Amino acid sequence: MHLACLMLMQAVKIIHDPRVIRMLADPVRREILRLTSMRPMTETQLAKKLSLAKPSVWHHLKILQSATLIKIEKIKPGKHGILEKYYKPQAALFIEDWEQLSLKLKRRFIPRKIQLLKGMLSAIEYAKGKKNELVEISSETMEELAEELAKKILDTAKEYEGQELTVDRDGGILQIEIYRKALEELAKKKKWRNIFSCNPSSV
């Protein structure tokens, strides 16, 4: 495909408004944004992909539109000549501003951050060939580390804000790149060095 035909979008958008961040806490809305970042999709296509009724998808799309997180990329005739709207997100990746979250809202996000961190740490251990020597981390330490990772992800994402997504990557690749850089910065801190070292020890 000719590069001029590719639809570029903003690489990263940092969300500062707590109201909009609450909207992004919904897993269905996050999945709609992820799916449409790969290619513009219609309400019907999203309903099929998500196994949801069209009225439910429409409801989520309207909420995302009201927060200017998603837009109509194009309108074209579908079956029987009915015009269909194709939706596309305003950015490939949305990152919540952790510093703007209330304690209550952080409690809603932290389980997802912990799952993310566990996956990243497991991948590190697997890559090191130490599948049976995972670092032992207490729940309290895991939560603290997850919060610090969320802040590092925000700091790293700021470097991409205002840039366009390049044609050689998609939102998923960009997310991995940002998370990897954030984890590398976190690993430099003396406090967390044992967790990321090649010689695991209890924390």
Position 12 scores a pLDDT of: 94
User: Domain 7-94: which CATH class?
Assistant: mainly alpha
Contacts of residues 139-145 at CB distance under 8 Å and 24 or more positions apart, as own/partner, are 141/203, 142/114, 142/117, 142/118, 143/110, 143/114, 145/117, 145/186, 145/192, 145/195
What's the confidence (pLDDT) of residue 200?
40
Q: Mean pLDDT across the stretch 73-91?
A: 89
In which residue are the tokens 């958008």 written?
Answer: 13
Query: How many other β-carbons are positioned within 10 Å of the β-carbon of residue 2?
Result: 5
CATH 1.10.10.10 residue ranges for the chain = 7-94
Q: What is the reported pLDDT for 157?
A: 94
Tell me the Cα Rg of the chain.
19
Alpha carbons 86 and 83: distance in angstroms, whole number: 10
Distance from C-alpha of 195 to C-alpha of 3, rounded to nearest angstrom: 43
Cα 96 to Cα 33: distance, rounded to the nearest angstrom: 14
- pLDDT (tens digit per residue) in 22-57: 999 899 999 999 999 888 999 999 999 999 999 999
Per-residue pLDDT, 104: 87
Interval 94-152: pLDDT, tens? 999 988 888 888 888 888 888 888 888 887 776 666 555 555 778 898 899 999 999 99
Tokens of 19: 């109201």
Q: Quote the mean pLDDT of the chain.
A: 84
